[in-house]
Amino acid sequence: MNNSPFVSLVIPTYNEERRLRDSLVAIQEYIKEKPYSVEIIVADDGSMDKTTSVAKECLDGNCSHSILTSSKNGGKGHAVKRGILYAKGKYIVFMDADLSTPISELDRFLEILDKGCDVVIGTRKSREASVMKRQPLYRELLGKGFTFLSNMLLVRGVSDFTCGFKGFEKEAGQDIFRRQLIHNWSFDAEILFLANKLGYKIKEIPVTWFDAEGSKVRLSRDIIGSLKGILQIRLNYVLGVYKVKGKGSK
């Protein structure tokens, strides 16, 4: 008998004690009436506050869950990777701890995954997207620059690489993330590059989104890191580091 959950929700966290409680309550309220089984995985990235205590308090005795801890901060990509590879669900969705894309988008992602799509990603750039609160102009411009470079050097046809709401069929997702090497803010571009090179079907859909306060982005550090990440992804591919040969290759 297969007791695996239908979907695993992976939530990367770093110093999120102030807003994590509300997010976990909202998620649990949403999933409690669903006909499918859900596990929540909080993948903490070495928080120095009470993030893991808040997660434990909110989740213990209330739902199927796991809290993954790290002794040091390794980057968002590192936390997401740990959560994805730990997940047991038929489908895996990772989302930001602030729920800037609300949990109510989950069913649309699962519907598309259940129809045979390997990777479903949210976009804020489509005309059909509903952006309730925009980012500051400088961050929008930086995002456009990152998207342009990623389209030119990595994957064409993706309008939004960094929206923090992405879903995967389990085998596809874990195949992709096992190869992931970038742990900074470029990791989103890396996983989509890998998905494309491995031959997995990627679908982008418009989502509801708002700019939550408390962004962990640091302008000078993350601009340089993201540019270096894009170049490193391309170099890794040219040097054969990823060993991608087609869909499901090992």
Q: In whole angstroms, what is the distance from residue 95 CA to residue 101 CA?
A: 8
Closest by Cα among 179, 170, 169 to 233: 179
Q: In whole angstroms, what is the distance from residue 70 CA to residue 74 CA?
A: 8
Q: In whole angstroms, what is the distance from residue 42 CA to residue 50 CA?
A: 13
Number of other residues whose CB lies within 10 A of the CB of residue 156: 9
**The pLDDT value given to residue 56:** 97
Instruction: Show me where the domains of the chain are located.
Output: 7-238
**The pLDDT value given to residue 250:** 43
- Domain 7-238: CATH class, spelled out: alpha beta
**The pLDDT value given to residue 211:** 75
Binned average pLDDT, 10 residues per bin, the chain of 250 residues = 88 96 97 96 97 97 95 95 98 97 97 98 90 68 84 95 96 98 94 98 95 60 79 96 69
Helix (H) or strand (E) segment spanning residue 52: helix 51-59
**The pLDDT value given to residue 225:** 78
Q: In whole angstroms, what is the distance from residue 146 CA to residue 186 CA?
A: 9
**The pLDDT value given to residue 151:** 94
**The pLDDT value given to residue 213:** 66
Helices (H), 95-218: 106-114, 137-153, 170-179, 187-197
